[in-house]
Amino acid sequence: MSAGQPTVLVVEDEAAQREILSYNLEAEGFRVVRAENGEDALVRVAEENPDLILLDWMLPKVSGIEVCRQLKIRTETRGVPIIMLSARSEEVDRVRGLETGADDYVVKPYSVIELMARVRANLRRTRPAAVGEALNYEDIHLDAETHRVTRSGKALKLGPTEFRLLSTFMEKPGRVWSREQLLDRVWGRDIYVDTRTVDVHIGRLRKALCQHGGNDPLRTVRGAGYALG
Ligand code: CA
């Protein structure tokens, strides 16, 4: 099942390295997209909207540094965490890597366990529910680890789709999500679902959130989509 999983883009020109990284990320439950050069990476980012990027420094066509610089300039991609991978360990390179806007910097040869920990740490900021963090919004508490939701301390019964919808909203309260964005995030972009399905599940989520009373925290934004609060 790909729905709700964070997508990680692995940009690495060495096939063996690329496969080791992808294998480990998939074992951790991430959806993996691969690119073997900088040009390809920029195309994949536009197509796949990844939640995090592992970016090799030395790449054919467009360098990792240049890819990072371009992604950090654009508003659409600025917030996506980038972890630079580099064989160069000099402090000056580290500084240069971070100056281009990279969020983290790992020197090769790296420990896969440590790198996976860094991936989770970076996603904790941007996709907290997806890495098992507990979330709170007003009187609603969502524990992604145990899949339990409470409101004012009372357990709420939620279907799996409603649970993923609610975690998406609770990761970014106030953000307006279009139906298409919710389909991508909650159902996964690999399957076809009618956008009206989103409305049906929003209806169920609203009902579930109010099962012990309280007001409806979800807002319908006409012509745009839905938001929490
Ligand atoms: Ca390389």
Give a yes or no: residue 21 inside a domain: yes
Residue 136 sits in the same domain as residue 220: yes
pLDDT for residue 101: 87
CATH code (residue 82) = 3.40.50.2300
The answer to whether 198 touches 210, Cβ cutoff 8 Å, is no
Q: Where on the phi/psi map is residue 190: left (φ > 0), alpha (ψ -120 to 50), or beta? A: alpha
How many helices (H) does the chain have, and how many strands (E)? Answer: 8, 11
- For ligand 1, an ion, list residues with CB under 5 A: 13, 56, 58
Q: Are residues 12 and 55 in the same domain?
A: yes
43 in the same domain as 78? yes
Same domain, 60 and 45: yes
Structure tokens at 62: 């467009």
Domain that residue 219 falls in:
131-228
Q: What is the DSSP letter of 28?
A: T
User: pLDDT by residue (tens digit) across 166-211?
Assistant: 999 999 999 999 999 998 888 876 677 888 999 999 999 999 999 9
Q: How confident is the model at residue 92 (pLDDT cuts 50, 70, 90)?
A: low
| Residue 207's CATH number | 1.10.10.10
Q: Measured in angstroms, how far is the CA atom of residue 135 from the centroid of ligand 1?
A: 38
Q: Are residues 139 and 217 both part of a single domain?
A: yes
Q: Tell how far the Cα of 35 is from the centroid of ligand 1, in angstroms.
A: 12
62, 96, 126: which is the final residue of a domain? 126
Q: Please give the tally of structural domains in the chain.
A: 2
Sign of torsion, CA 55 56 62 67? Answer: positive
- Chain mean position to CA 49: 9
Distance CA 132, CA 97 (A): 29
Ligand 1 centroid to Cα of residue 2, in Å, is 28
Same domain for 109 and 138, yes or no, is no
Question: DSSP readout, 62-93?
Answer: S-HHHHHHHHHHSTTTTTS-EEEEES---HHH
Task: Tell me the one-letter amino acid at 183.
Answer: L
Are residues 142 and 42 both part of a single domain?
no
Look at the pTM and tell me if it is higher than 0.85.
no
pLDDT digits 0-9 by tens, 8-36: 999 999 999 999 999 999 999 999 999 99
The rounded Å distance from CA 126 to ligand 1 centre is 27
One domain, residues 159 and 100: no
Q: What is the DSSP string of 139-201?
A: TEEEETTTTEEEETTEEE---HHHHHHHHHHHHSTT--B-HHHHIIIII-TTS---HHHHHHH
Kindly state whether residues 16 and 57 are assigned to the same domain. Answer: yes
Rounded to the nearest angstrom, the distance between the alpha carbon of 69 and the centre of ligand 1 is 17
Residue 16 Cα to ligand 1 middle (Å)? 11
103-148 confidence digits (pLDDT tens)? 998 888 889 999 999 999 999 988 888 888 899 999 999 998 888 9
Q: Which tokens is 188 given?
A: 């996964």
**Which pLDDT score is estimated for 3?**
46
* Residue 86 counted as domain residue: yes
Share of the chain residues as helix, strand and coil, in percent rounded to the nearest 5:
45, 20, 35
Residues 89, 13 share a domain? yes
In a domain, 1, yes or no: no
- Residue 116 shares a structural domain with residue 156: no
How remote is the CA of residue 11 from the centroid of ligand 1, in Å?
9
Residue 2 resides in a domain: no
Residues 140 and 185 in one domain: yes
